Structure 1
Amino acid sequence: MTRPLPAALALLAAAALVASAGGLVVANADLTPAEVNLLFAMREYTLTYNEYADRLPGWVTGPFEDEKVNLHITSPDGVLVIGVTFQDRKIVQFDAKGCPDPMVTVTADNATVREVMTSDRPFAVFRSAMKHGTVTIEGNTLIGTLRAGMVGFGLRVMDLLGL
């Protein structure tokens, strides 16, 4: 797989179990069976993102290079909050109860997360979800707001250029 993935797409993928030097890092893993299934389903996708993260443009991965982000995945059962830790543009850990003081919060519905994960064109699915409001990125700090705006601006420029 050689297709590039945007940083915000990585945030969707952040719900995955992520390999680190010592194995899988999962904090506060008190999850329902459905949540565990979603997390394991996304594991390979996150690992793929990490493999290609260094090749992605800086405007895609740079805003969240060494930050903590909360991912809210909505479903009929409620909201699963995942705290995502990025280090050197890669996802290194998630916390199943969220991060305190995250830079941004990304919200997506369960169906969109699964569609992005299974699509042959995940970037196109993500961009469409952003346009239709099924994925949102909200800054929780001034810097987070600026960085989230940078990602949104980059996506709009790509739309204008027809990329």
Structure 2
Amino acid sequence: MTPGARMVLVLLLAALALTVPASALVVENADLTPAEVKLLFAMREYTLTYNEYAGRLPGWVTGPFADEKVNLYVVSPDGVLVIGITFHDKKIVQFDAKGCPDPIATVTTDAATVEEVMVSDRPFDTFRAAMQNGTATVEGNNLLGTLRTGMVRFGLWAMDLIGL
């Protein structure tokens, strides 16, 4: 193979390697730090685990958000990364690096808590502990969201009360 043909082949392979499949997470916001991009991709990979685990979560946790959009605010020293999460049938079907319009609720936490939940053998309990110690909060953004997040907080309180 001639050097020119090799160069064309290398450029073609490089272009193919850089092409993002349609199903991949696309990050268009140039303001994201490398750590934020890494977190977004880790969350995308974690979706498979979450979606398998979702059926084992109590219905009063997943039900209120089964077919809704939620914004996750990840606070860091660099600012706040807003990630829109769309649920369908209690499973995550989409992430949006720019947030969702009109989300029913907002979850606020830090990157360390997100990562702890993702690596935990018991993600629900890890998130619950973050809610208890104040490193994660859930707030409704409208009347329906307030009622549904209140139901979730009540359920968590009841679990604490009876020692589950």
- With the shorter chain as reference, the TM-score category is 0.7 to 0.9
Q: What does residue 104 of structure 1 align with?
A: 105
1: distance between equivalents of 2:55 and 2:116?
A: 24
Structure 1 gaps, min length 5: 1-21
1: distance between equivalents of 2:121 and 2:50?
A: 14
Is the contact between residue 27 and residue 37 of structure 2 (CA under 8 Å) also seen in structure 1? no
Is the contact between residue 106 and residue 137 of structure 1 (CA under 8 Å) also seen in structure 2? yes
1: distance between equivalents of 2:34 and 2:123?
A: 25
Shift of 1:115: 1.6
Alignment of 1:81-160 (within 5 A): 81-160=82-161
SS at match of 2:127: helix
Q: What does residue 7 of structure 1 align with?
A: none
Is the contact between residue 73 and residue 108 of structure 1 (CA under 8 Å) also seen in structure 2? yes
Q: What does residue 63 of structure 2 align with?
A: 62
1:40 pairs with 2:38: no
Q: Which runs of 4+ in 1 moved over 6 A?
A: none
Shift of 1:127: 1.5
2: distance between equivalents of 1:33 and 1:25?
A: 15
**Aligned residue pair count:** 142
Root-mean-square deviation (CA, aligned residues, Å) is 1.8
Superposed CA offset, 1:4-26 (max 9, x none): xxxxxxxxxxxxxxxxxx72354
**Larger gyration radius, structure 1 or structure 2:** 2
Q: TM-score, normalised by structure 2?
A: 0.78
2: distance between equivalents of 1:96 and 1:44?
A: 15
**CA pair 121-57 structure 1, distance change in 2 beyond 3 A:** closer
**CA pair 111-27 structure 1, distance change in 2 beyond 3 A:** closer
1: distance between equivalents of 2:47 and 2:65?
A: 15
Greater share of helix: 2
**CA pair 150-26 structure 1, distance change in 2 beyond 3 A:** farther
Superposed CA offset, 1:88-135 (max 9, x none): 111111111111111101001111111222223323321121112110
2: distance between equivalents of 1:124 and 1:36?
A: 26
Is the contact between residue 27 and residue 94 of structure 1 (CA under 8 Å) also seen in structure 2? no
Q: TM-score, normalised by structure 1?
A: 0.79
SS at match of 2:80: strand
**CA pair 24-51 structure 1, distance change in 2 beyond 3 A:** farther
**CA pair 131-37 structure 1, distance change in 2 beyond 3 A:** same
Q: Percent same amino acid among aligned pairs?
A: 74
